[in-house]
């Protein structure tokens, strides 16, 4: 008996029906603003006698207007990059259930950038996806913007003039710092040199300065050196405390105190100090504990501001030193006492410095 297979043709027909139905439900439609895609999209035209050309692009925009605005902004960004200036955008966006409106406002540091730029050509491709009652549209937009060469020259000259003005202001601040430093107004001088750094850090190019500096980079290096030197000088301490024992004990305590201070980037020296450390430290011996000699370092240090002789703080010292050798126990007490006192001194100085800045 011969079998007939009816199910297989029916299955094939059913699949074809589903596929044709799917294709009928979703359609991709494309349209362009010109029959042929212009060549300037990939390669900007050569400069003319009067204009330099820039291409702006925005793909996937939800509306044509949004695509135009974004593509134009993209071209302005390229002009700005060429001219080394900054352009920013501000977007205002409102969304409702029915529609979405996007508006872009272009803001430029140089008003000439926006006013002088000219839209020379526009091309866009619109892609629509239609699926029953649903329709989605996307735009790829390309703009050709012309920018006058005379504006390029004018803008570059304006920037050069601005840089020269900045360099001149920096030089004036440097001169002011020199005068203040000679008058021993160190905080004021450091502030003036810091203003030099702030001015010159805003420059995007090395600029002539003169007066032995040749250019702004030389002035910047000199100002950095001055700030670093005055920072150290404004934190310089003269140590004039006494250890009541002998010269060796004096050296041991001062060495330990100095090391703790210098480790925190403060300076120690008697040459024009900003602070003075005075006080007395005594050494006493406290017997013998578990095979070790015990030594005590006790006393106090006063931290005084040199300019007005004001005592900022009094640091107490009360530490023990242990060792099986008697002299080493004394050294340990002096070392630990100097380290602890140094940490306290640094804290007082930095707090005073922070208070002066407020």
pLDDT tens digits along 314-325: 999 999 999 999
Is the same domain home to 91 and 148?
yes
Task: Give yes or no for a contact between 253 and 334, defined as CB atoms under 8 angstroms apart.
Answer: yes
pLDDT of 151 reads 86
Is the same domain home to 194 and 243?
no
Residue 89 banded pLDDT, cuts 50, 70, 90: very low
Domain-ending residue, one of 233, 261, 284: 233
pLDDT of 111 reads 54
Strands (E), 179-260: 237-239, 242-244
Is the same domain home to 241 and 228?
no
Is the same domain home to 28 and 147?
yes
Is the same domain home to 317 and 343?
yes
Least confident of 115-119, 259-263, 294-298: 115-119
* β-bridge pairing 275-289 and 292-305: antiparallel
Provide mean pLDDT across the span 219-235.
Answer: 89
Radius of gyration of the chain (CA): 39
CB atoms within 10 A of CB 27: 12
Asked if the structure places residue 344 within a domain, the reply is yes
Is the same domain home to 122 and 224?
no
CATH number where 202 lies: 1.20.58
* β-bridge pairing 311-323 and 275-289: unpaired
Asked if the structure places residue 220 within a domain, the reply is yes
pLDDT of 113 reads 63
Asked if the structure places residue 4 within a domain, the reply is no
Provide mean pLDDT across the span 147-167.
Answer: 89
User: 290 Cβ partners below 8 Å, 6+ apart?
Assistant: none
pLDDT of 105 reads 44
DSSP lists the bridge partners of residue 28 as 129
Asked if the structure places residue 13 within a domain, the reply is no
pLDDT of 187 > 90? The answer is: no
Better-scored residue on pLDDT, 70 or 156: 70
Is the same domain home to 170 and 251?
no
pLDDT of 45 > 60? The answer is: yes
Phi, psi at 66, each rounded to 5°: -60, -40
Is the same domain home to 250 and 213?
no
Asked if the structure places residue 319 within a domain, the reply is yes
Is the same domain home to 173 and 216?
yes
Is the same domain home to 214 and 312?
no
CATH number where 268 lies: 3.30.160.150
Domain count, the chain: 3
List the structure tokens of 321: 């030193």
Helix (H) or strand (E) holding 145: strand 134-148
Is the same domain home to 69 and 146?
yes
Task: Kindly report the pTM of this predicted structure.
Answer: 0.55
Is the same domain home to 42 and 77?
yes
Asked if the structure places residue 67 within a domain, the reply is yes
Task: Give yes or no for a contact between 343 and 312, defined as CB atoms under 8 angstroms apart.
Answer: no
Asked if the structure places residue 135 within a domain, the reply is yes
In which domain, by residue range, is 127 found? 24-152
List the structure tokens of 296: 């005590």
Asked if the structure places residue 80 within a domain, the reply is yes
Whole-number mean pLDDT of the chain? 84
pLDDT tens digits along 106-132: 444 455 566 788 899 999 999 998 887
């Amino acid at each position: 008996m011969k079998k007939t297979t009816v199910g297989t043709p029916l299955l094939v027909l059913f699949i074809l029906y589903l596929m044709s139905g799917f294709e009928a439900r979703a359609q991709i439609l494309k349209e362009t603003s010109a029959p042929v895609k212009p060549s300037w999209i990939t390669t900007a035209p050569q400069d003319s006698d009067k204009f330099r050309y820039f291409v702006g692009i925005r793909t996937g925009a939800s509306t044509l207007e949004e695509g135009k605005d974004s593509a134009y902004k993209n071209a302005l960004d390229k002009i700005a990059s060429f001219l080394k200036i900054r352009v920013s955008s501000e977007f205002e966006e409102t969304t409702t259930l029915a529609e979405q409106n996007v508006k872009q406002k272009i803001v430029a540091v140089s008003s000439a950038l926006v006013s002088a730029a000219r839209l020379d050509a526009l091309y866009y491709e619109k892609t629509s996806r239609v699926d029953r009652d649903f329709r989605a549209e996307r735009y790829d937009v390309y703009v050709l913007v012309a920018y006058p060469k005379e504006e390029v020259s004018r803008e570059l000259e304006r920037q050069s003039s601005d840089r020269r003005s900045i360099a001149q202001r920096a030089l004036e601040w440097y001169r002011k710092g020199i005068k203040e430093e000679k008058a021993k107004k160190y905080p004021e001088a450091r502030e003036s040199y810091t203003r030099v750094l702030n001015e010159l850090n805003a420059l995007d190019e090395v600029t002539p300065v003169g007066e032995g500096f040749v250019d702004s980079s030389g002035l910047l290096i000199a100002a950095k050196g001055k700030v670093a030197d005055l920072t150290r000088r404004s934190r310089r301490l003269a140590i004039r405390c006494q250890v009541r024992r002998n010269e060796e004990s004096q050296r041991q305590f001062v060495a330990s105190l100095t090391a703790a201070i210098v480790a925190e980037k403060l300076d120690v020296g008697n040459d024009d100090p900003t602070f003075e450390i005075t006080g007395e430290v005594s050494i006493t011996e406290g017997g013998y504990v578990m095979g070790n000699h015990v030594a005590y370092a006790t006393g106090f240090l006063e931290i005084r501001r040199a300019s007005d002789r004001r005592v900022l703080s009094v640091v107490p010292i009360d530490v023990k030193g242990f060792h099986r050798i008697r002299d080493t126990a004394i050294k340990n007490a002096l070392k630990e006492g100097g380290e602890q006192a140094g940490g306290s001194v640094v804290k007082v100085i930095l707090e005073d410095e922070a208070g002066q800045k407020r």
